[in-house]
Amino acid sequence: MKENKVYVNFAGKIVMVGFGSIGQGILPLILRHIGTSPDRITIVTAEDAGHIEAEQFGVKFVKIALTPENYRPILEPLIGAGDFLLNLSVDVSTLALIKLARERGALYLDTCIEPWAGGYVDPKASVATRSNYMMRLGALALRTPEQSAPTAVLTHGANPGLVSHLVKKALINIAADTGVQVVAPQSREGWAQLAQTLGIKVMHVAERDTQISNVPKVPNEFVNTWSVDGFVSEGAQPAELGWGTHEKNFPVDGGRHSVGSGCAIYLNRPGASTRVRTWTPKSGHFHGFLITHSEAISLADYYTVIKDGRVVYRPTAHYAYHPCDNAVMSLHEFAGRNWTLQDHKRIMLNEITQGMDELGVLLAGHQKNAYWYGSQLSIEEARNLAPYNSATGLQVTSAALAGMIWAMENPQRGIVEPDEMDHERVLEICSPYLGTVVGRYTDWTPLYQRGVLFSEDLDTTDAWQFKNVRVT
């Protein structure tokens, strides 16, 4: 087990909304690393899952589903000034909880931006309206002009979250390895100019989960190594990606947004039916699903260079996710049911027999072609480091823990995205839980071994065009 180290003593109460696989995995980390007592933590959740663990740790467990009608009378008595609202739920409005936390003077953190139940698949909503781009704009619109407001950290799990800090570390490493003299930038503009100077064209969040179970998936069952509901909801959203200035070929099924910075586009198809090519050190090249995530939008936005009111540089950014094999089969069945979820759900944990989650960022287009930097965490390591965690779960829970600690150390920063935080402090807290953290260069491009079996319409003048990355 990981050695106890209290990073911060917290005098307030902690209210956790949602207690699925990530909630269950982060609870022992909170008690290990945040100076508080179990009787100051309350869990509010819609399901029975995890109630035995809560009882074991002496934490209050309230089973009730939050709705637009009841969330205030339930949460207001639990949250006050100086407390912490940790939102790990699905089907509960992020905007509603941020507003409530602000009114009560409480700190806040979530791992994704969520609407109320049904918002992701509302048949009356347009594709653009259901996008993470629009949900992010809604959350950022809650920012107030004054700088001093209780800190609310948006989307800080593994990804989105941890990957934004990995990008900054990767940029510093690439600069050092290519002879670019640089001190870690202290502003958004500085980081964006560094990425431009290095020639970064694409930022893939490249993840391959190889964990396997001794309990095979059965028909009419969705199996995953983390939240089924969370994965299904984001997989059913339109595929989204930050759209770079180097791109020459706009997708025929693509759409642009008429509001905001225009840093990202969407595809008129679910992310769970859209695949892209990417690379990780252990797995090599593979096809991943282009699942929408907030980091695809925030990274493209954060690393934009504007001169004379015109965008002159922006990378293409997106998530490329190959989940565990049981989840791939589950997605195939889910799509075959016309995106109607299976009747049974299972999160793999104790039955996992081997495998790892390889999660990192692939930055490409620079002098040394492509560089992957991230975490290689095996199930054996995860079990040794913390209870109630798989390799996938621990990458998320340790990052959420780090975000909580950062918020407690910086309690008056208002609404903050991961890209705006101190990457060194977050990585300091996370790294002991990430297994082997490595950086690897590769000469792989999405043109590798293409055109051998099929005649394809490729752009051979620039390997890193999204046209080449996408699997069509």
- The pLDDT of 173-198, averaged and rounded, is 95
**Confidence band, pLDDT 50/70/90 cuts, at residue 454:** low
CATH number of 148's domain: 3.40.50.720
Cis upstream peptide for 160 (omega within 30°): yes
- Which of the four pLDDT bands, split at 50, 70 and 90, describes residue 137? very high
Rounded CA gap, 160 and 291, in Å?
12
Q: Which helix (H) or strand (E) holds 164?
A: helix 162-177
Q: Which residues contact 452 (CB under 8 A, 6 or more apart)?
A: none
pLDDT above 70: residue 452: no
Q: What is the pLDDT of residue 420?
A: 98
- Both tokens of 5, joined, read 């180290």
The predicted pLDDT at position 1 comes to 52
Nearest to 132 by CA among 159, 164, 169: 159
pLDDT at position 248: 97
If asked whether residues 229 and 83 sit together in one domain, one would say no
pLDDT tens, 394-421? 999 999 999 999 999 999 999 999 999 9
* Structure confidence by residue, pLDDT tens digits, 217-239: 999 999 999 999 999 999 999 99
Quickly list H helices, 34-93: 51-57, 71-75
Percent of the chain exceeding pLDDT 90 equals 92
Domain, as residue range, for 135: 8-153
Residue 2 is predicted with a pLDDT of 59
Over residues 254-272, the mean pLDDT reads 97
Compute the mean pLDDT over every residue in the chain, rounded to the nearest whole number: 96
The answer to whether residues 223 and 244 belong to one domain is yes
Is residue 416 one of the residues assigned to a domain? Answer: no
Report pLDDT for 148: 80
State residue 145's pLDDT score.
Answer: 79
Query: Domain boundary at 153, 181, 214, which?
Result: 153
The pTM assigned to this predicted structure is 0.97
Q: What is the pLDDT of residues 162-171, one digit of tens each?
A: 999 999 999 9
- Residue 118 and residue 262 in one domain: no
Does 235 share its domain with 377? yes
Distance CA 207, CA 290 (A): 11
**For the chain, how many structural domains are there in total?**
2
Q: What is the mean pLDDT of residues 347-352?
A: 97
Q: Which pLDDT tens digit goes with each residue over 296-339?
A: 999 999 999 999 999 999 999 999 999 999 999 999 999 999 99
Same domain, 352 and 464: yes
Residue ending a domain, among 153, 179, 201, is 153
Lowest mean pLDDT among 36-40, 48-52, 73-77, 456-460: 456-460
- Look at residue 117 in the predicted model and tell me its pLDDT: 87
